[in-house]
Amino acid sequence: MKNTAIYPGTFDPVTFGHIDIIKRALEIFDKLYVAVASNTNKKPIFSADERKGFIQRATRNWKGVTVETFDGLIVDYAAKKGTQVMIRGMRATSDFDYEFQMALTNRKLNKDIQTVFLIPSEQNFYLSSSLIREVARLGGKIRDFVPAYIEGQLIERLRGDH
């Protein structure tokens, strides 16, 4: 499946930056699996199923996107899906060290896996889920960073209203 790729992540929550990367990947690949990590040491605010639902809602009218959760190594998930291309978003040079290390580790685990780095548009370049969670936690407005249906749920979750 040469025209298939995987975009893995925690997506807690999915941001306009993530959505931008999904759009860009669909300009290159016919089929894109957005793989939501279930077991993560990042202690996500939203469950894997909630995060999966957020992405499904954001991409519901886009042809070629499948959103799934996964456990374990992403290279094993890629092999199961029959693809050899992994998409990673690259924001600033601060991402480079981590992303480079991860790409090389994945290649060592499965020599057939290729990592493709995509850069979001300028208006989404600085966005990260952790930054958005912090802004929301401190009472800042996040409507320019995440879809409206996520904004309310994130604020509610951070206040402990769930």
pLDDT at 1 over 60: no
48-60 pLDDT, tens digit each: 999 999 999 999 9
* Residue 51 appears among annotated catalytic residues: no
Which one has a higher pLDDT value, 150 or 92?
Answer: 150
137-154 pLDDT, tens digit each: 888 899 999 999 999 899
The Cα 154–Cα 129 span in angstroms is 11
* Residue 162 appears among annotated catalytic residues: no
Nearest to 7 by CA among 145, 45, 41, 28: 28
Q: Where are the domains of the chain?
A: 4-126
Note the pLDDT of residue 2.
62
Which one has a higher pLDDT value, 80 or 160?
Answer: 80
Tokens 């996107």, located at residue: 65
Architecture of domain 4-126: 3-Layer(aba) Sandwich (3.40)
* Residue 42 appears among annotated catalytic residues: yes
Pairing of strands 65-70, 85-89: unpaired
Q: From the candidates 52, 81, 88, 129, which is the catalytic residue?
A: 129
Q: From the candidates 18, 52, 81, 88, which is the catalytic residue?
A: 18
Which long-range contacts does 22-30 make (Cβ < 8 Å, 24+ apart)? 22/55, 22/58, 22/59, 22/62, 22/65, 23/62, 24/118, 24/120, 25/87, 25/118, 26/62, 26/64, 26/65, 28/116, 29/3, 29/4, 29/5, 29/64, 29/85, 30/3, 30/4, 30/64
106-130 pLDDT, tens digit each: 999 999 999 999 988 877 777 788 8
